[in-house]
Amino acid sequence: MASKRARAAASIAVTVGLVLSSTIGAATVSAGRNRSAPTAPTNLHVTATTPYSISLAWTASKDSSGIASYTICCANTSSMTVSGSTTSVRYTAGIEAARSFTLFVVARDNGGNYSKNSNTVTVTTPADTTPPTKPVVTVTDVGPTHVSLAWSSIEEGRVWFSVSKDGSTVISGTRDTAGTVSLLEPSTTYTLRVFAGDFAGHVTAGDPFTVTTEARDTSDTQGPTAPGNLRTNGMQFGDGETWLFWDQSADNATPQSVIEYRVFVNGVFDHSTVGRGSTVLYGNPFSQNTYMVIAVDESGNASAPATIVVDNF
């Protein structure tokens, strides 16, 4: 009798297990096949503006699977995505001062379905009347032929930086907050200055400062390796314009980032570039030209030349 009861109980357990498995599987398939879009966000409105931001709020969307995210669109083709629990945001993507923008919000549910657009709002940002703060500059490295700097400036919007050497611009219009002034002479004092500019055209000059480069290391007599695989990648043209590419050299003492590359056209020095494996130059139009690149380290040692003959036809 006990054996019959045990067999019956086992049979019931198997049946229940099959039913649960079937139910869970059906639910999973049903959830995976969710094609129902969430409701559109409503009541989108502006709560605050600055020259480079628009604060927005809206009424949440609804969906049986839950809301995964909201995407705000679009200023200068830039969008911004936030979590599905968010119903207010400070939108900054693509926002510029004294410009008019029309924005809307779209919801995405956990099944990957998108809602219709919310209502749109149109808003004009105020003008930027505040210049960037004076750049704070740090000298991070000095060698015989280079000075490396880091800088910062506070501004709500984007900031572009320039660097001058003895009154002449040597780095211009960069968003980077660090850079290297190269092709300097050893044991020489230079006056450097960093400028910060914003979208509205304000420019704030940093304080000028002097830096003296190091003397050459006369004990270093080993030159860099020759630039490798000198090539054009097919970028040569009949007017003589040629794009040269090469594998960068290595040196026993000079960092690769400050190795100088001297570029020659038909045996005549054309220009130098630093810390990179490419340049653009001009040979004789509709002619065969010989281009040569030599690497030079900070001690003045030169590599063997790399040479290529190019048909500029």
Superfamily of domain 136-212: Immunoglobulins (2.60.40.10)
Mean pLDDT, range 39-66, rounded to an integer: 97
β-strand partners of 150: 138, 178
Distance separating the N- and C-terminal Cα atoms of the chain? 101
Q: What confidence score (pLDDT) does residue 34 get?
A: 72
Facing residues of 75 across strands?
A: 78
Tell me the average pLDDT of the chain.
Answer: 91
Q: Where are the domains of the chain?
A: 42-124, 136-212, 228-312
Q: What is the CATH number of domain 228-312?
A: 2.60.40.10
Upper half-sphere CA count for residue 59 (Cβ side, 13 Å):
6
Is the domain spanning 42-124 CATH 2.60.40.10? The answer is: yes
Q: What is the pLDDT of residues 73-130, one digit of tens each?
A: 999 999 999 999 999 999 999 999 999 999 999 999 999 999 999 999 999 999 999 9
Q: Nearest CA to 229 among 206, 245, 213? A: 245
SS3 category, 200: coil
**CA dist list (Å): 300 to 3, 221, 270:** 97, 9, 18
Cα 253 from chain centre: 30
pLDDT-based confidence at 8, cuts 50/70/90?
very low
Same fold? 136-212, 228-312: yes
Per-residue pLDDT of 265-305, as tens digits, reads: 999 999 999 999 999 999 999 999 999 999 999 999 999 99
Q: How far apart are CA 250 and CA 256, in angstroms?
A: 6
pTM of the model: 0.79
